Chain A
């Protein structure tokens, strides 16, 4: 039974190593469970939803249930596209999870699709974590304005303490 559950949001760039190092100094792998998390970009789908009569029928427009699937013009439903995108993110996370497991951590992976900061907050609440540990890029000026900062948005909204580590810290 883990004492601590930590959410570890990873983006696709380097940063997992520095987060892993910081976690290793703060928590004992034997009593800590890590939830590796990434919010991938939403897949592009047809963007068309169809309406079909609900089983109850009737002429009332409200009786037509909205079907959250796009027209599968190419024979692929939107839900399949989303599931494939989610699987892709999950597979990428599993690769990174292997490195954590080698160091003795108990690891789960969780994937979402959409804007990262709200997704990270939701994942933190869903998993009831005690801490969020993530890398920050420390960008300044224009780069910061253009790229924004997920870490900053997470800190601003986080219900739990956030452990931040900078990947290029050794260089600077």
Chain B
């Protein structure tokens, strides 16, 4: 059985769905859950403008506070479900690297994925993809509802136009 489950979260709706599904699973299996949030340094990651440099320390503190909120919310969610929950905040690490560093201590990694394509995928990359590619543990990938609905709509549109 999977005794220890790692659920990386970035606070997004996609990650939220993975968190809920993961907790449900953990409850059924009697597993412990660790929520992981990786905090990239905004200056290293390159999304802070040079003008923001003087405020970068403040920016980082804000991001860190937001990250702690995300983990607190996840922990509360877990406690509501009656699952043993731990949280882990990793600083100065890309999310895919942070997951890779930790995965050996866990039996399963549950990740939300947005399943974006085309330009979106190129621009935002995919943490899930990068993490799975180097994985040593099984991964359970859960696609976000929004994305599933979008694909369904695309399919309907395609059927509608070909059927006409």
Contact = CB atoms under 8 A, between A and B. Distances in A.
Interface residues of A, number: 23
Nearest to A136: B132
A25 B132 contact: no
| Ranked 8 nearest A-B pairs via Cβ | A22-B138, A169-B136, A165-B138, A161-B142, A156-B115, A164-B139, A162-B141, A163-B140
**Does more than half of chain A's interface fall in helix, strand or loop, or is it mixed?**
mixed
Given A25-B1, A25-B107, A155 B113 contact: yes
Nearest to A163: B140
Given A161-B141, A164-B140, 10 more contacts: A26-B2, A26-B108, A26-B138, A138-B134, A155-B113, A156-B115, A156-B143, A158-B141, A161-B142, A166-B136
B29 interface: yes
Interface of B: 1-2, 21, 25, 29, 107-108, 113, 115, 117, 128-129, 132-143, 148, 151
A166 B135 contact: yes
A155 B148 contact: no
Interface of A: 22, 25-26, 131, 136, 138, 140, 151-152, 155-159, 161-166, 169-170, 172
B140 A161 contact: yes
A163 B135 contact: no
Contact of A164 (B1, B2, B135): B135
Nearest to B133: A138
A25 to B, nearest CB: 5
A138 B29 contact: no
A158 B137 contact: no
Contacts of A26: 1-2, 25, 29, 108, 138, 140
A163 B2 CA distance: 13
A141 B75 CA distance: 38
